[in-house]
Structure 1
Amino acid sequence: MIRNYVLESPETWQGRIDDTEDYDSFRWHQWIKLIDLNDNSLKAFDGTFAFCLIGFECDFGIGLNKGRVGAAKGPVSIRKELANLPCQFNEEIKIFDAGNIITDGLSLDEAQDCLGEAVNRILDLNMFPIVLGGGHETAFGHFKGLFKHFLKDDESIGIINFDAHFDTRPYEKFGGTSGTMFRQIRDLVQENGFDYNYMCIGIQKHSNTKSLFNFAKENEVKYILAKDIVNRDIPSLFDEIDEFIQSVDYIYITICSDVFSTAFAPGVSAPQALGMDPEKAIVLLKHILSHENVVSFDIAEVSPRFDKDNTTATLAAVLIFSLVTKISTLIEKRKNKKKIKRSRSY
Structure 2
Amino acid sequence: MNSRYQLPTPLSGRIDSTSDQEAFRWHQIIKPINLNEPIQFEKTAINICFLGFCSDEGVKRNMGRVGAAKGPASIRKEMANWPANCLPHVQLFDAGDITCDDGNLEEAQEQLAVAVNKIHQAGLFTILLGGGHEIALGHFNGIRESLDEAPAIINFDAHLDLRPVIDKGSSGTMFNQIHRICEDKKEDFNYLCIGAQTYANTQSLFNKANEIGAQYILAKDISTSSYNKIEEQISNYIKDKNQIYLTICSDVLSAAHAPGVSAVQPFGLDPDMVLQLIKSIIHSGKLCSLDIAEVSPRFDADNRTAKLVAVYIYAVINSMIEQKLNQSY
Give the TM-score normalised by structure 1: 0.92
**2:160 pairs with 1:162:** no
| Cα pair distance change 1:97/1:213, threshold 3 Å | same
User: Residue 14 of structure 2 aligns with which residue?
Assistant: 16
More displaced 10-residue stretch of structure 1: 16-25 or 256-265: 16-25
Following superposition, the deviation at residue 161 of structure 1 comes to 0.3
User: Residue 229 of structure 1 aligns with which residue?
Assistant: 222
The answer (yes or no) to whether the contact 2:144–2:150 under 8 Å persists in 1 is no
Select the residue among 115, 120, 142 that pairs with 2:117. 120
What is the distance in 2 between the residues matched to 1:117 and 1:262? 34
Following superposition, the deviation at residue 3 of structure 1 comes to 5.0
User: Residue 189 of structure 2 aligns with which residue?
Assistant: 196
For 2:145, give the aligned amino acid.
K
**2:4 pairs with 1:4:** yes
In the TM superposition, what are the counterparts of 1:48-67 in structure 2 within 5 Å? 48-67=45-64
Q: SS of the residue aligned with 2:247?
A: strand
What is the distance in 1 between the residues matched to 2:326 and 2:164? 45
| Cα pair distance change 1:45/1:244, threshold 3 Å | farther
For 1:182, give the aligned amino acid.
F
What is the distance in 1 between the residues matched to 2:288 and 2:163? 26
User: Residue 74 of structure 1 aligns with which residue?
Assistant: 71
RMSD: 1.3
Following superposition, the deviation at residue 207 of structure 1 comes to 0.5
Q: SS of the residue aligned with 1:275?
A: coil
User: Residue 343 of structure 1 aligns with which residue?
Assistant: none
The answer (yes or no) to whether the contact 2:55–2:101 under 8 Å persists in 1 is no
User: Residue 317 of structure 1 aligns with which residue?
Assistant: 310
Following superposition, the deviation at residue 322 of structure 1 comes to 1.0
Q: SS of the residue aligned with 1:309?
A: helix
Q: SS of the residue aligned with 2:223?
A: helix
Structure whose CA Rg is larger:
1
For 1:326, give the aligned amino acid.
S
More displaced 10-residue stretch of structure 1: 230-239 or 21-30: 230-239
What is the distance in 1 between the residues matched to 2:21 and 2:80? 15
What is the distance in 2 between the residues matched to 1:104 and 1:16? 32
| Cα pair distance change 1:114/1:3, threshold 3 Å | farther
For 1:145, give the aligned amino acid.
G
Q: SS of the residue aligned with 2:216?
A: strand
Following superposition, the deviation at residue 4 of structure 1 comes to 1.3
The answer (yes or no) to whether the contact 2:195–2:218 under 8 Å persists in 1 is yes
Following superposition, the deviation at residue 291 of structure 1 comes to 1.0
What is the distance in 2 between the residues matched to 1:92 and 1:285? 20
What is the distance in 2 between the residues matched to 1:156 and 1:64? 26
| Cα pair distance change 1:156/1:103, threshold 3 Å | closer
In the TM superposition, what are the counterparts of 1:201-280 in structure 2 within 5 Å? 201-230=194-223, 232-280=225-273
Deviations along 1:137-156, one digit per CA (max 9) or x if unpaired, are 000110110111112xxx44
The answer (yes or no) to whether the contact 2:253–2:270 under 8 Å persists in 1 is yes
Q: Where does structure 1 lack aligned partners over 5 or more consecutive residues?
A: 338-346
| Cα pair distance change 1:217/1:45, threshold 3 Å | farther
The answer (yes or no) to whether the contact 1:44–1:124 under 8 Å persists in 2 is no
User: Residue 127 of structure 2 aligns with which residue?
Assistant: 130
> Across the two proteins, how many residue pairs are aligned to each other?
329
Following superposition, the deviation at residue 105 of structure 1 comes to 4.1
Deviations along 1:194-232, one digit per CA (max 9) or x if unpaired, are 011000000100100000111111111111111111263
What is the distance in 2 between the residues matched to 1:73 and 1:124? 28
Q: Where does structure 2 lack aligned partners over 5 or more consecutive residues?
A: none
Following superposition, the deviation at residue 246 of structure 1 comes to 1.6
User: Residue 27 of structure 2 aligns with which residue?
Assistant: 29
Give the TM-score normalised by structure 2: 0.97
User: Residue 92 of structure 1 aligns with which residue?
Assistant: 89
Deviations along 1:103-136, one digit per CA (max 9) or x if unpaired, are 2446111100011111101101100000000000
